[in-house]
Amino acid sequence: MLRRSLAIACALVALLVSPAFAAKDALLDHLAGSWVLTGTIGKEATTHDVKAEWVLNDQYLRLSEISREKDAAGKPQYAAEVLLAYDPAKKHYVCFWFDNTVVAATTDGGSATRDGDKLPFVFKSASGDFFNTMTYDAKAGSWTWAMDGEDKGVRQPFARLTLKRP
């Protein structure tokens, strides 16, 4: 009995420490580093500073995003922590997005199947899906993010953003 329990425990530990996601995905690696994000969110012009670094054995790219716009208390109007990774077993990307606007509506995060240099993330929600298509422009060395909400099955533009190196 003890031997069987020990074998099960060892198998669980091996499963937990083995990498589930690919280390340093090539497309995501283009997003690592410092960026200035500009564009519109809800028809309002905005500028954010974004820093992206590999974490957790280089399996996840963590983005820290802070708006330059401040609230009445002098704090950033917007702040987010984002984790991106590629799951080679399922051949798709995952995205977990946490920000200061609302508690996450889903714990599943978003998922995307790569389309060239595009990552069309879909975040499923009972109140309507949310879409964030991240596109890398290799020639310009920049990214665009097109974010859309969904109302009764129709996409509604939410944000159009560009990330460039400072």
Residue-wise pLDDT tens digits, 7-53: 333 333 333 344 566 678 999 999 999 999 999 999 999 999 999 99
Across the strands, what pairs with 136? 143
In a domain, 27, yes or no: yes
In a domain, 113, yes or no: yes
Entry field: residues in the chain = 166
Tell me which residue has tokens 């080679």.
Answer: 88
CB atoms within 10 A of CB 74: 6
In a domain, 136, yes or no: yes
In a domain, 14, yes or no: no
Paired tokens of 122: 């879909």
pTM of the model: 0.83
In a domain, 3, yes or no: no
Give the domain extent around 104: 21-164
In a domain, 10, yes or no: no
CATH no. for residue 156?
2.40.128.20
In a domain, 2, yes or no: no
Q: Comparing C-alpha atoms, which of 106, 112, 66 is closest to residue 86?
A: 112
Residue-wise pLDDT tens digits, 59-104: 999 999 999 999 999 999 999 999 999 999 999 999 999 999 876 6
Angle 52-58-121 (CA atoms, 0-180°, nearest 5)? 60
Q: How many domains does the chain have?
A: 1
Rounded to 5 degrees, φ, ψ at 6 are -65, -40
